[in-house]
Amino acid sequence: MSAWSRGRRLAVDVGKVRVGVAISDPDGILATPLVTVARDMGAAPDVVPRDIAELVRLVGEHEVVQIVVGLPVRLNGREGDAAIDIRAYAGRLEHAVGQVPIVLADERMSTVVATRRLAERGVRGKRQRAVVDQAAAVEILQSWLDAQRRQTR
């Protein structure tokens, strides 16, 4: 998508256990938490994992026009094994959602920032673990939306 088009964007923060999901408003101004989905690591290669099936459902339900997947880049800017895993995940997701474009966005420090912001609001322990993935997805999406807005000015 070269020119900005109106519509909701969905962001996913993919972890080994959970997938945090955030969504934007149709104008692409504000990212908000949506849901945390359990990661389905046991699916056979020819079967759509339950987490990806749920993301496909959310894309349809919210009429999403683009998906932003957080890419774990090391602090030195290089990609490691985690980035390879996320690129594979994004490929499976892209295959499952069909025509909805997927972009990868640098997610450096998103979980750290999300954890800090939750702690500042008094959310700690089990409550924090339950929402930190969503909060990280919000950080990823809001950063990406802000960058897109700067580029289209």
Instruction: Decide which of 20 and 135 is more confident.
Output: 20
Q: Where in the chain are the domains? A: 8-152
CATH topology of domain 8-152: Nucleotidyltransferase; domain 5 (3.30.420)
Bridge partners of 38, per DSSP, are: 18
**Please, is 76 exposed, middle or buried when counting C-beta atoms within 10 Å of its C-beta (0-12, 13-18, 19+)?**
exposed
- Which tens digits make up the pLDDT trace of 54-88? 999 999 999 999 999 999 888 787 888 889 999 99
d(CA 72, CA 82): 6
Instruction: Decide which of 110 and 46 is more confident.
Output: 46
